[in-house]
Structure 1
Amino acid sequence: MKIITWNANMAFRNKAHLLMCYEPDILVIPECENPEKLKFRSGEIMPADIIWHGNNTNKGLAIISFGDYKLTLMDEHDADLRTILPITVSGAKEFTLFGVWANNPADKANQYIGQVWKALHCYEQLLNNNPVILAGDFNSNTIWDKPRRQGNHSTVVEKLLAKGIESTYHHYFGFSQGEEAHATFSLYRHKDKPYHLDYCFASADFIKDLVSVAVGSYDDWAMHSDHCPVIVEFK
């Protein structure tokens, strides 16, 4: 199974073909337009399911599945958390997926990683429904931790680890949080302002089947978005 998360920086209808060559099973696409505006090229594999949520028809969070994978938004979804979506994935493998775009201007006191922290508490019981994956744009890194603040990046990572859920990138490459060698985001698309903001966290039963993790390069993706895709494959 292959999961790709990529903040497409809008107009995904003109960019979807860039991911099709990877033969994804599930896409997590922050800053994606409403599905009514989406287009896939003739001859490409068509999506099996799409779940989208957002207040702006040009810029929301889309979860897209292919093949036998079906998506169901859980009744537990808290609309106040906007674009952190708890989803039941059924098909060749059944699991709980949290699609993440940590961005809520309406909640200024808990922007970005604060949204994920709130979601971990709101959906605490769902996180026990192994297997579990959380994937998307977390808009955060431990380098920006505010030590006295509950809900910084490191405490989110620690809370997930306590439930046996860890970052596939850090597990695969052996890096510590904040010491990533691959940037997933370039501020203002400047190559000299790289950060790692996009993640795929997975529970232990996924981690043991982890095959590969790859991050797209700046040179290949900067013309399309300020983010690069994170591509994760499991057996």
Structure 2
Amino acid sequence: MKIITWNCNMAFRKKADIILTHQPDILIVPECEHPDKIVFKADMLKPTDTFWYGKSKNKGLGVFAFGDLKIKLLDHNPDFKFIVPLNIFNDETSWTVFAIWAQKPEYHDCYTEQIWNAVHFYNDILNSDNVILVGDFNSNSIWDKPKRFYNHTNLLELLETKNIWSTYHHFHNQTQGKERHSTLFMHRKAERPYHIDYCFASKNLIDKVKNVEVGTYEAWTKYSDHVPLIVEF
């Protein structure tokens, strides 16, 4: 199984063919317009099922499944907005996938607060196997403020209590906050790199990680300020 997350920086209809050449089984696209606006051309890989969540049809969270995979929305608490629990499944296997596009809170700038609260709310299902949290978290340990109990490092520790880890850091043996690869180049500037997109997976899936690839600035900057994170199990 190949899962890809890529914040497309809007106008996904103009860029879908680029990311689809990587042949995902599951594709998570923050800042994606409503699927009604997307035309999948005859020579493009076409999703067999689609889920989208958002307020404006121009900018939401898109999830696309391919092959024999289907998508079912689980009980979604709208208080957590773009942290959406999904069941993605076929006749043989089922995954609980949290598609994530973390939003800036109203009263401060710590994007992890919504994810922190969602992890507590969805506590029971996060204790299962075949759990994936994937998308644009808009956070990194370098921005931790110690007095904020919901900072990035504390979120990581909370997920670890549920046997959930970052596939990128596990596969590449990287330390949180000191990543060798960046997933965001702020304002598309090479000199402003950050790692803020993640795919976390439960222990039974971490043990099956085959490859984790991060797109390069040179290949992707003309399409978005983010590069894709590609995880193969």
What TM-score comes out, normalization by structure 2 length? 0.97
Q: Residue 126 of structure 1 aligns with which residue?
A: 125
Counterpart CA distance in 2 for 1:143 and 1:137 is 16
- Displacement of 1:104 in angstroms is 4.7
Q: Residue 8 of structure 1 aligns with which residue?
A: 8
- Displacement of 1:210 in angstroms is 0.5
| Contact in 1 for aligned 2:131/2:201 (Cα 8 Å) | yes
Q: Secondary structure at the match of 2:19?
A: helix
Counterpart CA distance in 2 for 1:152 and 1:3 is 26
| Contact in 1 for aligned 2:110/2:151 (Cα 8 Å) | no
Counterpart CA distance in 1 for 2:110 and 2:84 is 16
- Displacement of 1:108 in angstroms is 3.2
Q: Deviations over 1:132-153 (max 9, x none)?
A: 0000000000000011111100
How many pairs align?
A: 232
Structure 1: runs of 5 or more not aligned? none
Change (3 A) 1:133 1:167: same
Q: Secondary structure at the match of 1:210?
A: coil
Runs (4 or more) in structure 1 with deviation over 3 Å come to 107-111
| Contact in 2 for aligned 1:82/1:104 (Cα 8 Å) | no
Q: Secondary structure at the match of 2:210?
A: strand
Superposition RMSD in Å: 1.2
| Contact in 1 for aligned 2:48/2:65 (Cα 8 Å) | yes
- Displacement of 1:39 in angstroms is 1.7
Q: Deviations over 1:26-50 (max 9, x none)?
A: 0000000011111212122211111
Q: Residue 113 of structure 2 aligns with which residue?
A: 114
Q: Secondary structure at the match of 1:17?
A: helix
Whether 2:103 is the aligned partner of 1:103: answer yes
Q: Secondary structure at the match of 1:149?
A: coil
Q: Secondary structure at the match of 1:108?
A: coil
Counterpart CA distance in 1 for 2:182 and 2:149 is 26
Counterpart CA distance in 2 for 1:108 and 1:7 is 24
Q: Residue 137 of structure 1 aligns with which residue?
A: 136
Q: Residue 160 of structure 2 aligns with which residue?
A: 161
User: How high is the sequence identity, in percent, across the aligned residues?
Assistant: 47
Map of 1:1-235 to 2, 5 A cutoff? 1-74=1-74, 76-91=75-90, 92-104=92-104, 107-109=106-108, 111-234=110-233
What TM-score comes out, normalization by structure 1 length? 0.96
